Amino acid sequence: MKSINESRINDGLIFFLSKEGHADDKINEMLEKSVIVINLFYESTLEFYFEYINNLPDNIDVCIISSRDEVLAKSKIINTHKRTTYYHKQNRGRDYSAIFVELRDVIRKYDYFCFLHDKKELEQIDDSYSSEGIYTIDNLWGNMIATKGYIYNVMELFSKHPDIGIMLPPERIGDYCGLWYRDVWGETSNYELCQMLINKFNYSVELSKDVSPLLATSFWIKTKTIEKLLSYEWKYEDFPDEPMPLDGTISHALERLIPYTPKDYGMKASTVMNEAFAVWLYNYLQTNLRKLFGTVWDEGIYTINHLISREQRKERLIDFAKDHKTVYVYGAGEYGKGMINTLESLGINIEAILVSNGYKKENMLGKYPIYEVSELGGRDKEGVIIAVSSSLRRTFEDNIKKQGKIDYIYGF
């Protein structure tokens, strides 16, 4: 069975939507059956979020909920969206108590439901918003409700793709955000709690600890796909009190479970983003991937495959060196130099550097002598590590075979 991550990628369920769009009768009918729920906590950043809220379609309902009276009071002053209702909640359970305790009966009246919340990262520093916070909100809000036209396009996507049950923003990324670069089950009890919820609510979905889940930090969803969760009479006491732990609570489990719930209805999870964000994301990833490889280049990490297989390669080199008393590196170019650095870091002794016959231009490479490959043979338990790009492997392999029965492996 394919994971929701595999389905999202393999089934082409990642969409780039324009901020420009048109609402026909069908879209307007869908908007009338939709609600946007927004949990707000930080008074100092309200103006930033209301740039989005005040630009929502006039014919969609909005619920603003907060545990702070001052946030609700200020929201009422700066909000210009007429179809807005305000709710007060306890300061417990944060986003998911807002959904499942305070507003569950409200949400159940609608066919489509969008959830958003503010973030502490956006809090102002020296009278300006942090760049990391702006990245986050551009993602979580800009890819859910960027403009009226964008929301029209979200509705159209639901209409044209009845197999989509939930739309999520791209995985969060930023200069200081490490969560998405690792397994987001985390090291706490998120997986076990999520499995407990699946059993409790009789969801027919399968989890795997080896497959990182998607996170529902903000989303558009067909409300019926979370009816099992909404019909349960949650209490505030079901959720952690403040200060809420950073991980491993029922809230964190729900965040990971919700993207799976559409599978019970034969539906799938998808990712949506506005076109401007997609351009930014592409440039960000390209730029920083180049920087990342710059930090590991001297270790002989030149490709994505090298990076992924880094630890396996080290183990293979160590095992090879244990079986061979005399170790050569075949290749004096970029790959050869990277292999030298790798072997030195592993404490593996290098006898010499090999080059193909007729290509010896120097006698030494650093502290290591350079031999032509024809000089192979006659030493105890010789082993050669071929350190060249894949396009040159066969030629170098043939050169070694001409010298007789000498063990070799590919270093890359």
Which region holds residue 347: left if phi is over 0, alpha if psi is between -120 and 50, else beta? left
Q: What is the pLDDT of residues 42-69, one digit of tens each?
A: 999 999 999 999 999 999 999 999 999 9
d(CA 334, CA 328): 16
**Strands (E) located in 248-294:** 268-274
* Residue 405 pLDDT: 87
Q: At 274, which CATH number?
A: 3.90.550
Per-residue 3-state assignment (H helix, E strand, C coil) for 116-139 = EECCHHHCEECCEECHHHHHHHHH
Which region holds residue 188: left if phi is over 0, alpha if psi is between -120 and 50, else beta? beta
Q: What is the pLDDT of residues 27-46, one digit of tens each?
A: 999 999 999 999 999 999 99
* Residue 125 pLDDT: 47
The answer as to whether 32 is a domain residue is yes
* Residue 188 pLDDT: 83
- The confidence band for 136, taking pLDDT boundaries of 50, 70 and 90, is confident
> Of 232, 260, 291, which marks where a domain is finished?
291
The answer as to whether 296 is a domain residue is no
Q: Under a CB-based contact definition with an 8 Å cutoff, are residues 383 and 349 in contact?
A: no
Give the mean model confidence (pLDDT) for residues 59-81.
Answer: 98
Q: Please state whether the predicted TM-score (pTM) of the whole model is above 0.75.
A: yes
State whether 335 and 205 are in the same domain.
Answer: no
State whether 219 and 335 are in the same domain.
Answer: no
Q: What is the pLDDT of residues 300-337, one digit of tens each?
A: 899 999 999 999 999 999 999 999 999 999 999 999 99
Q: What is the pLDDT of residues 146-168, one digit of tens each?
A: 999 999 999 999 999 999 999 99
> Of 253, 268, 291, which marks where a domain is finished?
291
Phi, psi of 14 (to 5 degrees): -115, 120
Q: Under a CB-based contact definition with an 8 Å cutoff, are residues 93 and 22 in contact?
A: no
State whether 309 and 283 are in the same domain.
Answer: no
Q: What is the mean pLDDT of the chain?
A: 93
User: Which residues on adjacent β-strands are paired with residue 343?
Assistant: none
* Residue 180 pLDDT: 62
When divided into structural domains, the chain yields a total of: 2
State whether 127 and 33 are in the same domain.
Answer: yes
Q: At 341, which CATH number?
A: 3.40.50.20
State whether 101 and 218 are in the same domain.
Answer: yes
State whether 252 and 324 are in the same domain.
Answer: no
User: Which residues form the domain of 155?
Assistant: 4-291
What dihedral angle (degrees, nearest 10) is formed by the CA atoms of 84, 90, 93, 96?
-20
Residue 103 has pLDDT above 90, yes or no: yes
Q: Which helix (H) or strand (E) holds 328?
A: strand 326-330
State whether 18 and 95 are in the same domain.
Answer: yes
State whether 93 and 219 are in the same domain.
Answer: yes
* Residue 260 pLDDT: 94
Q: What is the pLDDT of residues 205-253, one digit of tens each?
A: 888 888 888 899 999 999 999 999 999 999 999 999 999 988 899 999 9
Give the mean model confidence (pLDDT) for residues 81-101.
Answer: 97
The answer as to whether 298 is a domain residue is no
DSSP 351: -
Dig out the tokens for 329 from the structure.
């590196």
Residue 133 has pLDDT above 90, yes or no: no
The answer as to whether 370 is a domain residue is yes
